[in-house]
Structure 1
Amino acid sequence: MQRSTKRRAIRSAAVVGTLALALTACSSGSSSDTASSAAAFDENTEYNITVWAWEPTIQQDTDVISAFEEAYPNINVTVTNVGGTSDTYTALSNALQAGTGIPDVAQIEYYALPQYAIGNNLTDLTQFGAADLEDDYTTGPWNAVNQTTNTGDSGIYALPVDSGPMALFYNEATFEAAGIDTAPTTWEEFYEDAVKIHALGDDYYITSDSGNDAGFLTSIMWQLYPDAFQVDGSNITVDFTGEAFQEFVSIWQKLIDEDLISTSITGWSDEWFKGLGDGTLASLPTGAWMPANLLGSSPAASGDFRVALMPSIDGTAVNAENGGSSLALLSAADSSNAAAAYKFVEFVSNGDGATLRVQGGNFPSLQSTLDDADFQASTGDYAAEDLLTYFGGQEYNALLAEGAEDVNSGWSYLPFQVAANSMFADTVGQAYNGSGTTLAQGLSDWAQAIADYGNEQGYTVTVVE
C-alpha cells in the first residue's frame, strides 16, 4: 500500500474501547442475511453508493472514479476520506454501533479485516462470484480476505486492492561508505552491517525503530514464525516462542542495547524522511508500497537507494507482508446497493481500476501484474522514469515481485488485531525507551495483555511461555 497518509500508532484506552464495538456491532444482522437479500445488478437502475477510503488513488476526483463512472454510468460514487486508518476504523465502528451513516464500501487493511468480519459486519462476496477470482491474486492478500464470522460462516469478506510484500530498501552510498559491498542476507549480517554504519558517525544508523507500531514486529513474526497467532474459532493461542523468531529478538535486542538503531526517530516523521534522504538512516525493511513515498518525501537520496530481498535467519528466501488493504461491503448498508457496490469493488481490485492504481504508485495484489514484463521493468503502461532514476536504474519492481513469491503461508491475524496493536507501545514499546524492559519481557507483557483482552471479549486465549 502506498502510504501517503501516515499510519500512526493507536493508543490504548480510547481505541480499545471504540474498536471493541466492531466485535459486537450489528451482530443481529448477519452477512448471510444481507447476502440472501441483495438485489441483482440492474443496468437500467440508477444507484448511489458511498465509499470510505483514505488511499489517494481512490478519492473523488481521480482517474479511478472517473473511469468507473464512465464504465457504469448508472452508478454514482461518493467517496469520503474520514482520515487515516485509525480515524477510519473509529468512525466505522461508531457508525456500526449507531446503525446510521454506514457506507456501502469501506477500505480496510488486511490486519483489521478479522475484527470486522467476526461480528458479521461485512458481506460475503461469494454470492457475486468473488470465489472465481482466487487464482488472480497473490497468496497473502487472498488469504487475508478469506474470513470466518462468530457464527461460523466462512467466506470472502473483501477483495484485495494492494499488497505489501516486504523488502530491504537501502542507501547504497551509505553502505559503500561503510565498506559494505552487498546488502545483508541474514539478520546477523544486518547486525554486523549496523556496527560498520554506526562507525561513520554518531548520527548514522542502519535503520530506526521507536517501538510505537506493532506492524514491523508482527511482520517479522509472519516471516520467521507464522504460528505466532493461532485462531481456531473462539480458541486462540499466542505463541512467540518460535526458534527463528527468538533468534531475531536476540539480534534486535543487541541493536537496541548497542545503540546501533535509532530508537528516537519515529517513522513517518519529518526527521525520519530527512534521515532517509541524507543517508544517516541507511535502510528500511518495509512493504513494497514504499518507493513512491521515498521519491516524494526523501528526494535527496535519488540515485542512491536500492532494493534487496529481506534478510532471514539463515539466508533462505522467506518473506512476509507488511501493510496492504482491501475493499469490503458493509452488511448493514442498504442491501439494494450491494450489487452495484460490488461492481465498484471488483473494478478497483480486478478491473481497469487496478491498473490505474498501480500506475499511480500502488503495489499490486494481482499476479498477472506482478508477472508483467513492463511492470517489472517500469516501462510501457507502467513507465516510471523518476522511480527508476531514484533506484539507480535498478529494476526494483522485479525484485519486489520476487519477494511476493516468497511470502510465508499459514499466518493468521487475531480477530481483534486492531485492539491488540494498540497495546503494543505500552508493552513491547517499553524495550525501546531505556526503561530497562527487554524485548523478551515486553513481548511477554504484550501476550498477556492480548490474552486478558481476548478473554474479556469471550474468547479462550492461551499464551505459550
Structure 2
Amino acid sequence: MAMREHTSLATRCMVGSAVLALMVVTGSDGGGGGVKDGAGSTSCKPASGKVALDYWSWVPGMQKAVDLWNQQNPEIQVKLKTTPAGNAGTYQNLSNALKAGKAPDLGQIEYDSLASFRLKDGLRDIASCPGVKDSGQKFADWTWSQVQFGAGGRDGVWAVPQDTGPMALFYRKDVFDKLGLKAPTTWDEYAKDARRLKKAGKYITHFSQTDPNWFTGLLWQNKATMFERKGDSWKVTVDRPESRQVAEYWQKLIDDKLVATDLQGFSPALYKAWNDGEVVTWISAAWGYSTIRDNAKSTSGKWAVAPMPQWQPGEQQAGNWGGSTTAVLGGSKHPAEAAKFALWLNTDPKALEILNREGGLYPAAKAGASLPALKQPVDFYGKQKIFDVFAQASGNVDTNFTWGPTMTDTYRYLSDGTAGVIGGRTTLRDVLKETGSQSTESLRKQSLDVTG
C-alpha cells in the first residue's frame, strides 16, 4: 500500500525480506462458478447462487469498505482477514495457504511481488471476467501495465490496481527561502543546493541502506528498468547505463559528505533530524506526506512539495515507491465474483473515499484524483494543495518498468551492497554490477529461463 497513516506500517510495507517459497497450485472445482482449468485459466463464469469470499488485506479501515460492499451486495458476501503487511508475514502465509489448497479468494499483493505469485500459478487471470478488460481506462496507465506484465495485454490481467506511490520532493521551504534557494528542478541544481546547505550546517537528505525500493524508485524515474521479459524468458538489466548514471550521481553526494549516511529510513533518528532542521528534503512517495506530518510535528507549516528533480531541464519524469493490488488467487472457486469485488473496491467513489480516509491510500484509479480530501490545501504543508503535485507525478511514471520474479532477493542484494557503500568498502556502481549478477543467479536457481 502507499500513503500510509502509520509509520510502522510504512516500514513493514517497504522493506523486503526473506525469499518467498511460493508453490505451484492447480485450480479446483468447487461447483457453481468453479474453474477447472488451473490458476491461469481464462474461464470466468458467474455463480448461480449466493457466494462467500475470503479476502486478506493489511489496509487500516478496510473493514469499513467491506461492510459497505456487504450491505449493497447480499448475494456476494466478503469476509475480511486483517493480516501483517506483505513481507512482514502475509506473503509467506499466502504461500503456505496456496500449498495447502486453503488460500483466500482475494489477497493484497504489492506490484513488485505479483510476478513471483504469477510464475508459481498463485494468481488467476481475470481478463475474461465480466467488466475487467473494459476497466483498464479507469486506472493510471502505468498501474494497468503493471498488472498485465507488459503493454498490450498479451499476458492477461492478473490483479486490479489499488494504490500507488508516485514520487516527488518534500522540502523545508523555510530553510530554502532563508538561503535564497528555490525548489531544485534538476538533479544538477539539487547537488548545488546540497553544497550550499552543507555550508549552512545541514544535509539536503539522508541515504539509507534499508530502503532499496526507494533507490529503485530513483532508477525508475530514469527509465532504468531492472528486468526485461519476453514470454517466460527473463533478462536482468540492473547494471545498465541509466542505472549507472543514478548510482554515480548519488555516489558523488556520498563521497562529498553532502548527504547523511548514518540515518535509516523510518527511524527515530531521522525524525529527530527532520524536527531539528538537520535534514531538509526527502524524495518520497505520496504517502510520505503523513510520515513527515506525524513524526516532525514541530515543523508544521514549514514544508512544501515540488516535482522530482529531472535529469534534463524540461523533462517530466517521476518514479514510484510502493503500491498494491487486489488479486484473485489461484484456487478461488468464484473468480467472477472476486473480480467484481476487486473492481468495486478500487473504483467505486465511496470505497475510494473510505480507503483514503481510513487507510491513507493514494488511489490508482483516475477517479481517485477527484476525491475531496485530495483537492484540499494541507495545513502542515503551508496550505499547499500538495496532491496536485502527486497527481501530475502519477501521470509521468514510466509504464514500461518491469519487476523481476525474485524481487525480494534483488532488494536484499541492493541493501547489503549499500551497507558496503556507506562503510566505504565499495561503490554504488559496483553494487549494481554485483546485484545484477546475483539476481541472474537467483532466477536460475528458481529454474527460470534467463537470457544474457
TM-score (norm 2): 0.88
Q: CA deviation at 1:69?
A: 1.6
Q: Which amino acid aligns with 2:196?
A: K
The SS at the match of 2:416 is coil
Counterpart in the other structure of 1:382: none
User: Is 85-94 or 388-397 further displaced after alignment?
Assistant: 85-94
Could you tell me which of 272, 275, 278 is aligned with 2:270? 272
Instruction: Flag structure 1 segments of 5+ consecutive residues without an equivalent.
Output: 379-384
Q: How does 1:10-409 map to 2 (within 5 A)?
A: 10-11=16-17, 15-16=18-19, 19=20, 21-22=21-22, 24-26=23-25, 32-33=37-38, 35=41, 39-42=45-48, 45=50, 47-58=51-62, 60=63, 62=64, 64-86=65-87, 87-100=89-102, 102-128=103-129, 129-147=131-149, 154-177=155-178, 179-201=179-201, 204-315=202-313, 316-333=315-332, 335=333, 337-351=334-348, 352-360=350-358, 361-370=360-369, 372=370, 374=372, 377-378=375-376, 388-409=378-399
Aligned Cα root-mean-square deviation (Å): 2.5
CA offsets 1:264-322 (integer angstroms, 9 cap, x no match): 21111222233233332211111112223322332222111111101121131111221
Counterpart in the other structure of 1:455: 444
Q: Which amino acid aligns with 1:80?
A: K
The SS at the match of 1:154 is coil
The SS at the match of 2:38 is helix
Q: Give the 3 Å change call, closer, same or farther, for CA 462–298 of structure 1 in structure 2.
A: farther
Q: CA deviation at 1:451?
A: 0.9
Q: CA deviation at 1:38?
A: 5.1
2:447 is aligned with 1:446:
no
Q: CA deviation at 1:109?
A: 0.6
CA offsets 1:185-217 (integer angstroms, 9 cap, x no match): 11122122122222232xx32111222232122
Q: Which amino acid aligns with 1:330?
A: L
Pairs aligned (count): 432
Counterpart in the other structure of 1:411: 401
Counterpart in the other structure of 2:31: none
- Do 1:348 and 1:354's aligned partners in 2 also have CA atoms closer than 8 Å? yes
Q: Which amino acid aligns with 1:390?
A: F
The SS at the match of 1:328 is strand
For residues 241 and 416 of structure 1, what CA distance do their matches in structure 2 show? 16
Q: Give the 3 Å change call, closer, same or farther, for CA 73–298 of structure 1 in structure 2.
A: farther
Q: CA deviation at 1:66?
A: 2.2
For residues 276 and 37 of structure 2, what CA distance do their matches in structure 1 show? 53
CA offsets 1:10-32 (integer angstroms, 9 cap, x no match): 34xxx22xx1x22x421577995
The SS at the match of 2:414 is coil
Q: Which amino acid aligns with 1:344?
A: F
The SS at the match of 1:285 is strand
Instruction: Flag structure 2 segments of 5+ consecutive residues without an equivalent.
Output: 29-34
Counterpart in the other structure of 2:413: 423
TM-score (norm 1): 0.86
Counterpart in the other structure of 1:381: none
- Do 1:9 and 1:422's aligned partners in 2 also have CA atoms closer than 8 Å? no
Q: Give the 3 Å change call, closer, same or farther, for CA 274–67 of structure 1 in structure 2.
A: farther
State percent identity of aligned pairs.
Answer: 26
- Do 1:275 and 1:281's aligned partners in 2 also have CA atoms closer than 8 Å? yes
Higher relative contact order (CA 8 A, sep 6+): 2
Q: Which amino acid aligns with 2:387?
A: N
Q: Give the 3 Å change call, closer, same or farther, for CA 10–228 of structure 1 in structure 2.
A: closer
CA offsets 1:53-92 (integer angstroms, 9 cap, x no match): 112132x3x3x12211211134443322321221211211
For residues 429 and 342 of structure 2, what CA distance do their matches in structure 1 show? 42
